[in-house]
A and B are shown apart, each in its own frame.
Chain A
Amino acid sequence: EVQLVESGGDSVQPGGSLRLSCVASGFTFDDYWMTWVRQAPGKGLEWVANIKEDGDETYYVDSVKGRFTISRDNAKKSMYLQMSNLRVEDTAVYYCASGRIYFDNWGKGTTVTVSS
C-alpha cells in the first residue's frame, strides 16, 4: 500500500522557520518527482514546489521563492520543505504528493499556522 506521511507542522510567529517532512512507503520513491501542495483555510489547493527524482531540479511558486527550500533523501525515502521567514499567508495544510504534473498519491497533510 502506498503511503505518504507528513510531519513537522506547528504554530509559529511571523518570521519564524519550520521544516516539514514527508516519508514515503509502498512505491519506488526515487522513481518519482515529488511535490508539496498547500491549502490555506477556506481556500483552494496551491502548488508550492517540486523536486526531480535525483534532486537536481527544483521549482517553486513565486510567493515562496527565496524563503522555502525543497529537498529529498532517497535513501530515507523522504522529502523535506524547509520554510523560513514565514508569513501569515503561509498558514495552510501542507500536503506531500507523488508526481510532477499530476499527483497520484497524497498524504493527509500537516498544518502550519503562522500567527503573532
Chain B
Amino acid sequence: QSALTQPASVSGSPGQSVTISCAGTSSDVGGYFYVSWYQHHPGKAPRLIIFESRHRPSGVSNRFSASKSASTASLTISGLQADDEADYYCSSYRSTRTSVVFGGGTKLTVL
C-alpha cells in the first residue's frame, strides 16, 4: 500500500510561514475530507493537529492551518517557532482495503 507523497524536508526562519504538501489519489485524499495532520517530535507521542482536512483540535494553535484541493492536501504553519521543528505526517482514509494511509513524513527545520 503506497504512502501519500510528502516532501522529505522543508525549512523556514522564525516568524516565517511554511507549507507542506501531501499528494494522494482519488481513492484517498481526493475522494474524502478525511485528511489529518500530525506533529511528531522524535521520542514522543505523535500529536493530532488537523482533522477532517481543516479542523484544529482544541488546544492546537491557530498558526496551524490546512486545506485540500483535488488529491493534494496542504498544511501551513505560520509564525514559525523553534518548537515547531518536528516531523509532520499527513494521513487519509483510503477506500481500497478500508484503511488509513500515512504520508512518508516531512522534517521541518526552523533555521
Contact = CB atoms under 8 A, between A and B. Distances in A.
Interface residues of A, number: 21
Contacts, number: 59
A59 B48 contact: no
A52 to B, nearest CB: 11
A45 to B, nearest CB: 5
Nearest to A106: B45
Q: For chain B, give the interface size range.
A: 20 to 34
B45 A107 contact: yes
Contacts of A108: 44-45
Nearest to A63: B1
Contact of B100 (A62, A101, A104): A101
A107 B103 CA distance: 20
Interface of A: 35, 37, 44-47, 50, 59, 61-62, 95, 97, 100-104, 106-109
21 contacts: A35-B100, A37-B46, A44-B3, A44-B105, A45-B38, A46-B102, A47-B99, A47-B102, A61-B99, A62-B1, A95-B46, A101-B36, A101-B93, A102-B36, A102-B51, A103-B38, A103-B48, A104-B51, A104-B57, A107-B45, A109-B45
Interface of B: 1, 3, 34, 36, 38, 40, 44-48, 51-52, 57, 87, 89, 91, 93, 97-105
